[in-house]
Amino acid sequence: MTLIGADTKYLVVGLGLTGLSCVRFLTARGKWVAVTDSRPNPPNLGEVQNQFPDMEVQVGGFSREMFVQADVLVMSPGVALRTPAVQAAIQAGARVTSDIELFLSEFTGQVVAITGSNAKSTVTQWLGEAIQRSGRKVLIGGNIGTPVLDAVDQSFDVAVLELSSGQLELLPKLGADVATILNVSEDHMDRYDSMVQYQQAKQRIYFGAKQALFNRQELLTQPLVAPDVKVSSFGLNRPDLKQYGVLETPAGACLASGFKVLLPAAELALPGRHNIANALAVLALADAVQNPLEHTLAALRDFSGLPHRCQLVREQAGIRYFNDSKATNVGSTLAALTGLAQADCKAIVLLLGGQTKGQDLGPLAAVIAATCKAVYVYGADQQRFHEVAPQATYVDSMFDALNQANTTLQDGDILLLSPACASFDQFSNFEDRGEQFVAWVEGRR
């Protein structure tokens, strides 16, 4: 079936910003489009009804009849493919696609594809800014930023795309110029039956890629692709030729390509060993799309990071306050703890809690014991933390945790919000959680 067929019936599933962009894209090309959303009042319902008054729209649940009448389901990645109505449509012969595949069907520039359980937004934005410095026009999108279909008619030289496992499930063959998996740790275990299934979804990013970049210190990122695909790697250890890594020099640890020193790690704007790994990924990806090295290095020195990603909010009386609200899984919290840990000193006061999404919390235990002087746990699944943080104080809310922790903080301490959990039990999303944390730290709450 042709992706944009003349008589094809498209059902857009999900009416967030991405769903709205899909509606606009397809209708602008004269296609028959209907829309559905399981929520009774999705965010862009009024806009669709006003702009497309004759369009069939169904909300408040999924109708099997509506799904099986469609030729193509344009899926939101937030809707699992195992949803009964989706499965019924697939069995009836419907094709599944997404905004990313629709975008790539018309985009002619270079494509960089980035995924991972953690840090993919940081690396995507960091790389995009590095390439922009060379004068090329860059689209930074996918799972962040502008919906890609809202930018498809603009003339971009490079698209740097952050892709979630849910988005990758919807792509039969991505075909990126360069693709990477930064890391893989347990996440979305409420969506996948096993880590193997989750890893398989991530591995789809390498399908059809011209070049593949992986983290050589994480086996699950290694590409399972045809041997003729050009492959390179990055890691925090010493690199071989055509690899990216860290060389120890008399002046300290340095980022390197092969045996060539490129930048002292101390010059990176972002703190923590995890951000050295992120910077190495940016270096490797930038080289893969022939970005001039001087522009890449300038971005590595200047990039101040994204909100809610191990963001230094304030330093006062020798105490540093970090907002890592985007840490919605164990792997991300582990990265923050090890990245901020101080040698031979337990200086971190950690705030954990929310919805655990079926993750194994076990890996937190040893790192918490080694790095944290105190732990406060709040939220819906707090009982699950008893084994990994037996020393913790258990409270009702993040604000209870903040107020209690504040009475114990001393010069040299780090107060870290890195919840390892989804936020929806007490907040609208991780951004809301992070913004409320920042407001408290800044004395605005």
**Would you state the pLDDT for residue 98?**
97
CA–CA gap between residue 424 and residue 79 (Å, rounded): 17
71: tokens are: 């030729």
Q: What is the pLDDT of residues 152-193, one digit of tens each?
A: 999 999 999 999 999 999 999 999 999 999 999 877 667 788
DSSP conformation letters of 346-383: --EEEEEESB-TT---TTHHHHHHHHEEEEEEESTTGG
Determine the pLDDT at residue 445.
78
Residue labelled with tokens 């990126």? 176
Helix (H) or strand (E) holding 438: helix 430-441
**What amino acid positions are annotated as catalytic residues?**
120, 143, 188
Q: Which CATH number fits domain 102-302: 3.40.50.460, 3.40.1190.10, 3.30.450.40, 2.40.160.20?
A: 3.40.1190.10
Residue 88 to residue 71: CA distance in whole angstroms:
12
Pick the CATH number of 9-97 from 3.40.50.170, 2.170.190.11, 3.40.640.10, 3.40.50.720: 3.40.50.720
- Collapsing DSSP to helix, strand or coil, 66 comes out as helix
* Euclidean distance between CA atoms 421 and 330, whole angstroms: 8
The first and second tokens of residue 122, run together, are 């940081």
Q: Can you give the pLDDT at residue 344?
A: 73
Distance CA 138, CA 417 (A): 32
What angle separates helix 398-406 from helix 430-441, to the nearest 10 degrees? Answer: 30
Domain chopping of the chain, boundaries: 9-97, 102-302, 311-441
Residue among 99, 100, 131 at smallest CA distance from 23: 99
The per-residue pLDDT for range 356-382, each reduced to its tens digit, is 998 999 999 999 999 999 999 999 999
Distance (Å, whole) CA 376 – CA 382: 10
Q: Is the Cα torsion angle 348, 354, 359, 360 positive or negative in sign?
A: positive
pLDDT, tens only, 309-325: 999 999 999 999 999 99
Which stretches of the chain score pLDDT less than 70? 1-6, 188-189, 226-227, 343
Q: What angle do CA 387, 119, 226 make, to 5 degrees?
A: 105
In percent, the amount of the chain with pLDDT more than 90 equals 87
3-class state of residue 238 by DSSP: coil
Name the architecture of domain 311-441. Answer: Alpha-Beta Complex (3.90)
Are residues 390 and 322 in contact, defined by beta-carbon separation less than 8 angstroms? Answer: no
How far is Cα 201 from Cα 196, in angstroms, rounded to an integer?
9
Residue 189, pLDDT score: 66
Q: What pLDDT score was predicted for residue 1? A: 38
pTM of the predicted model as reported, rounded to 2 decimal places = 0.86
> How much is the mean pLDDT over the chain?
94
Task: Give the three-state DSSP class for 16.
Answer: coil
Q: What is the pLDDT of residues 46-85, one digit of tens each?
A: 999 999 999 999 999 999 999 999 999 999 998 989 999 9
Q: Which two tokens stand for residue 267?
A: 């010059």
